[in-house]
Amino acid sequence: MTLWLIVRRSLRQHLLSSLVTAVLIALAGGLLMSVWAVRRQAHATFTGQSGGWDAVLGARGAKLQLVLNAIFHLEASPGNLPYDDYLAMASNRAVAVAIPLAVGDNYLGYRLVGTLTNYFSTEYRKGAAFRVEPGGRLFEDGYREAVLGSFAARRLGLKVGDRFKPYHGLNFDPKAQHEDEYTVVGILEPSNTPADRVVWIPLAGLQNMSGHDPGAAADVSAVLVRLRTPIAGQQLDMLYNRQGNRLTFAWPIAKQMADLFDKFGWFDSVLTLVAWLVALVATGAVMASIYNSMSSRRRDLAILRALGARRRTVFAAIVLEAATIAAGGMILAYVIYLAILAGASAVIRAQTGVVLDPFQPDAVLLWAPLAMIALGAFAGIVPAIKAYRTDVATGLTPES
């Protein structure tokens, strides 16, 4: 009670420096929690984001590129494969579902993906299949119709009944517009998957788009595969990757993404190190702030000691004050954390369609504040030692 009164009054007496220091702690703590949470959530989300598929079949190339292209709708396709390869995969008894994809065009930077309508009836998460918003429907094969992912529709400002002409290539080039005009017939409900960023059209539509090579009209860019049993993945891996040399079978999908994160592990470590360094600098600021005020506190400490306060009491008061500054800072750190995560989430969603949840519980939200408060208290030890050593008789002497 007395300790807390001393701490509160001291904080009020040194309000400006305490506030500045608390803000530093808040920035450091917010950054630390954000780096940790974004890293963990991104890893969990990307490695867990398979769209409900077990594997991807594509032209010979890197598995990661194949996964990024077919699942995350990022990167260019490593090449095309004949439609017959899709038919072969679809008729394989080990395969439950196989859906072909064709890419190569965009509308104002949003990727057009040609596919079959049964893509939308395949669950992208257990118990969750794509649904069209009321007032819309799925496209019909053979028609120039499009169904838009929710994010793409919002960003493009398109609604059911609108018409648009796609552009050639995966990147927007105003000079490369196709003559074909598509009509929006449906908008998908948000799925928080990369599919939200896609403009979906019939497979044949993309294959036969004006200006495309008629010789490749029957080709597809990739085939999404759902297996009947996990063991089937090994058989197909053997078939396509080891015995064949024409196609690539990317399986399992999560492993490809985990490998990607592993490749950037060093970057991850650097970010974490920077966050910890910022935390240490902020902790140093707590120490400097209190330490620099010790000469102005000398008299107060001497008075407290003259009133009977023990050395350990004034020591504890300084440590508690430092910890309180850190605790105050960490309350503000939650706001900064939410702001950073909301920003990062918006960017990641815009770039990949994957959604991070700033409110998702994370252990870092518990241990980081505790660690920062402990560091803050630790930072208070040096000035607390000075307080402990305060000479009462000297401190009571008025300074001239």
Pair 253, 55: CB distance under 8 Å = yes
Peptide bond into 252 cis (omega under 30): yes
State the minimum distance, in angstroms, from the CB of residue 312 to other proteins: 8
75 is a contact residue toward other proteins (CB under 8 A): no
Q: Which of 4, 5, 189, 347 binds other proteins (CB under 8 A)?
A: 5
Nearer to other proteins, 216 or 396 (CB): 396
State the minimum distance, in angstroms, from the CB of residue 395 to other proteins: 10
Window 275-304: contact mask with other proteins (x via CB under 8 A):
------------------------xx--xx
Number of residues that bind other proteins (CB under 8 A): 25
Q: Which of 59, 309, 327, 340 binds other proteins (CB under 8 A)?
A: 309
12 is a contact residue toward other proteins (CB under 8 A): yes
| Cα distance between residue 155 and residue 133, in whole Å | 16
Q: Which of 154, 255, 311, 349 binds other proteins (CB under 8 A)?
A: 311
Nearer to other proteins, 1 or 16 (CB): 1
393 is a contact residue toward other proteins (CB under 8 A): yes
Q: Which of 2, 229, 269, 292 binds other proteins (CB under 8 A)?
A: 2
389 is a contact residue toward other proteins (CB under 8 A): no
State the minimum distance, in angstroms, from the CB of residue 299 to other proteins: 8
Nearer to other proteins, 355 or 384 (CB): 384
Q: Which of 171, 310, 347, 389 binds other proteins (CB under 8 A)?
A: 310
- Structure tokens that stand for 276 in this block: 């910890």
Q: Which of 92, 177, 241, 313 binds other proteins (CB under 8 A)?
A: 313
Strand partners, 200: 113, 147
229 is a contact residue toward other proteins (CB under 8 A): no
Where do contacts with other proteins occur on this chain (CB under 8 A)? Answer: 1-2, 5, 9-10, 12-13, 299-300, 303-313, 392-393, 396-398
